[in-house]
Amino acid sequence: MAVHYNCAKCNDRLCMHKVPIFSTLDKDDLRKIMGLINHHKYKKGETLVFDGDPMDSVVIINEGSVKAYKITADGREQILYVFSEGDFFGEQNLFSGQASTYSVEALQAVKTCNLSRKQFQELLYRFPEIAVKIIDELGNRMTRLENALQTIGVRNVDNRIGGILLEFAEKYGTKNEIGTIIHLPFSREGIANYLGVARETVSRKFSQLENEGVIHSLNNKEILIPDMGKIEAIAGFH
Amino acid sequence: MAVHYNCAKCNDRLCMHKVPIFSTLDKDDLRKIMGLINHHKYKKGETLVFDGDPMDSVVIINEGSVKAYKITADGREQILYVFSEGDFFGEQNLFSGQASTYSVEALQAVKTCNLSRKQFQELLYRFPEIAVKIIDELGNRMTRLENALQTIGVRNVDNRIGGILLEFAEKYGTKNEIGTIIHLPFSREGIANYLGVARETVSRKFSQLENEGVIHSLNNKEILIPDMGKIEAIAGFH
DNA sequence: CGGACCATTGATAATTGTCAAAATTCGTGG
DNA sequence: CCACGAATTTTGACAATTATCAATGGTCCG
C-alpha cells in the first residue's frame, strides 16, 4: 500500500526545483511551500488514483513515472498520458470538485509531492504567476492530446508507431555516435494501449522495422534508432 | 472574405452574456470590455484560422459554429472540436506566443468577438476570476479530448457512432414526445472526419441503425432517436 | 535454474477502407 | 413552387488491414 512519510532529507533539490510550475518562485517562497507538501511513495504497479475517485489534491511526480488511463466497458485500456518527473495531475478537479476522469498507476517505483486542494488554491491566489504557468502547461498538454487524437484518428498504424517513437525519443531518448537509444516507458502491451491497437500488431510492426534496419531492439525496454530521419518519414512527416 | 465591422446594435445580449468566461462580471465591467472587442463575420466554408498562423487574439463564437481540424501529410482531415455559441479558442497561444496548432472553418454563417492578446492579458490581471473560469473550461475541454481519444483509440466503430450521437444529442438535440431530434452540425463526411473513419462506413452504420429502428433519418442533417437508451447501449455504456 | 511473465509468430476471421456506380438530397433560378 | 444540375449520400463488390486465437520462444528475477 501507499506509504505516507515526511521525508527528512527532502531538501530544495527534491520536489520543488524540478517542477516547472514553481520555477518562477524564489528560494524563500519555495521553502514556505515545502511545508505544505505531503509525500507519498508507491511501488511499481500500484494505483495512485482510480477513475471516479474524488480528487482532493494535486499530485506532482517527483521520481519515477506513471500512466493515466481509462478502461472501456469491454475491458480495453486506453492510455492517455505518461507523467514523469515534474509533471502533475489532479488540477482539473480542484475547481469543479469533480471526480477523477482516469486511473493512474505507477510504471516504476514512484515518489510524489501532494498539495491539498485548499493549499493549492491559496497558492494560486498568493502567486498568480503559478496560474499562468498552469494555463500554459495545460495548453501544452492539450496540444499533445490533439496530436494524439490526430495520430490515432487517422488510423494508419505505421504512422502511429512512428509517432510514438518520435515522442519517446524526445522524452526518454539519449543520443550518441551510433544513434538514439530510447528507453521505453512501458511494455509492448502498454504501447499497444497507448496507440489503440492490439499487442500483437505492435510486435509485428516492430519486427518489420527491425528487418528493414530502421530500429534495433537491445532488449524489451530499449531500442536503438540509427537514423531518426527514417522514423520521421514513417510517422508521416514528409 | 472576412468582413470586419463595428456593430451598432451590439448590445449586452450579444457577445458577452453568452460567454461563460465572462459570466461572473457585472454589467459595468461588461460594458467596459465591450469596447475592446472587435467583431468579425464569416460565411459558411470560410477559414477563420489556418494551422500554423500566428495567433494574436482570442476568438469567441457569438453566432454559428466552426470546426477545428488538422490535416495529415496524406491529406486526411481529423476534426478536433466543434465550437459553438459561447465557446472560444486561441487562448493557448496567448502566453507562449505559439502559432495555431489547427485550422478553423465556419460550418455556417458565423459571427465572432475578438479580443487581442494584449487586451485579453490585461483582462486576466484585472479580473482574476476569469483565469479561474478559463482553467475550468480548459479542464472540461481536456476531459472531452480524453474521452475522444478513448473512443477513437478503442476503435470499435459502433461505439464511436453511439458516442457521437450521445454527444450531439446533448449539444444539439431537442426532446419531444416521440423522441430526441438531433440537428447534426456537419455532413456525413464531417462525422467521418470527427470519428476517424471513412465516409462510407458512417453511411453503412447509419443505414444499419435505421434498419434496426434505432434511428430515423429525417434528412441529411436531422435524425430522430426514439429511445436514447439504445444509443447508450451502442456507445458501450452497459 | 526455474517459473512467471512478456513477446513473437502463424493462421484465420472480422472489420473497415477503397473504388465505382446509382440514388438521393439540396439549392438555385426560372 | 417546380425543375434541373450539382453535390452529397448510399450501396455493392472487393481488397487491405488489423484483431483474434493459439502456440512457441525469450527474458527477467528471485
**pLDDT tens digits along B63-104:** 889 999 998 877 889 999 999 888 889 887 666 677 898 999
Radius of gyration of chain A (CA): 19
Taking 50 as the threshold, does the pLDDT of residue B11 lie above it? no
What percent of chain B clears pLDDT 90, i.e. is strictly above it? 33
Cross-chain CB nearest to A72 (options B92, B150, B195): B150
How far apart are the C-alpha atoms of A140 and B116, rounded to whole Å? 21
Chain A residues in contact with B136 (beta carbon < 8 A): 95-96
Tens of pLDDT along A50-94? 999 998 888 989 888 999 999 887 788 999 999 988 888 988 766
Residue nearest to nucleotide C25 (CA to C1'): B220
**Do residues A171 and B174 touch, judged by C-beta distance below 8 A?**
no
Instruction: Tell me whether residues A70 and B237 touch, CB distance under 8 A.
Output: no
Determine the average pLDDT of the residues in B165-186. Answer: 91
Instruction: Tell me whether residues B95 and A139 touch, CB distance under 8 A.
Output: yes
Per DSSP, chain A holds a count of helices (H) and strands (E) of: 8, 13
Query: Who's near A120: CB < 8 A, 6+ residues apart?
Result: A57, A58, A91, A94
- Give the helix/strand (H/E) hosting B148: helix B128-153
Determine the average pLDDT of the residues in B166-175. Answer: 91
Taking 60 as the threshold, does the pLDDT of residue B9 lie above it? no
B183 vs B28, residue with greater confidence: B183
Amino acid at A151: T
Distance of CA A20 to the CA centre of its chain: 14
Taking 60 as the threshold, does the pLDDT of residue B133 lie above it? yes
Instruction: Tell me whether residues B142 and A141 touch, CB distance under 8 A.
Output: yes
Instruction: Tell me whether residues A154 and B196 touch, CB distance under 8 A.
Output: yes
A35 vs B55, residue with greater confidence: B55
How far apart are the C-alpha atoms of B86 and B59, rounded to whole Å? 10
Determine the average pLDDT of the residues in B40-49. Answer: 89
Cell of B99: 502559432
From the alpha carbon of B203, which nucleotide's C1' atom is closest?
D10
**Residue A92: per-residue pLDDT:** 75
Residues 146-165 of B with CB under 7 A from strand D: 155
B146 vs B154, residue with greater confidence: B146
Taking 80 as the threshold, does the pLDDT of residue B120 lie above it? yes
Which bases of strand C sit closer than 7 A to a protein CB?
6-11, 15-20, 25-26
How far apart are the C-alpha atoms of B161 and B156, rounded to whole Å? 9
**Residue A9: per-residue pLDDT:** 46
Closest by CA position to B154, among listed A41, A145, A80: A80
Task: Calculate the angstrom distance between C1' of C2 and CA of A175.
Answer: 37
Residue nearest to nucleotide D28 (CA to C1'): A220
DSSP letter, residue A186:
S
**Residue A94: per-residue pLDDT:** 66
- Provide the shortest C-alpha distance from residue B182 to chain A (in Å): 24
Low-confidence ranges of chain A (pLDDT < 50): 1-13
**Residue A155: per-residue pLDDT:** 62
How far apart are the C-alpha atoms of B212 and B224, rounded to whole Å? 13
Amino acid at A11: N
Q: Give the Cβ contact number of residue B197 at 10 Å.
A: 20
- Residue corresponding to grid cell 519517446: A168
**Residue A209: per-residue pLDDT:** 93
How far apart are the C-alpha atoms of B156 and B167, rounded to whole Å? 17
From A89, which residue of chain B is nearest by alpha-carbon distance?
A: B139
Domains of chain B: 3-152 (2.60.120.10), 156-234 (1.10.10.10)
Q: How confident is the model at residue B2 (pLDDT cuts 50, 70, 90)?
A: very low
**Residue A95: per-residue pLDDT:** 67
Instruction: Tell me whether residues B159 and A78 touch, CB distance under 8 A.
Output: no
Determine the average pLDDT of the residues in B184-203. Answer: 93
How far apart are the C-alpha atoms of B76 and B193, rounded to whole Å? 8
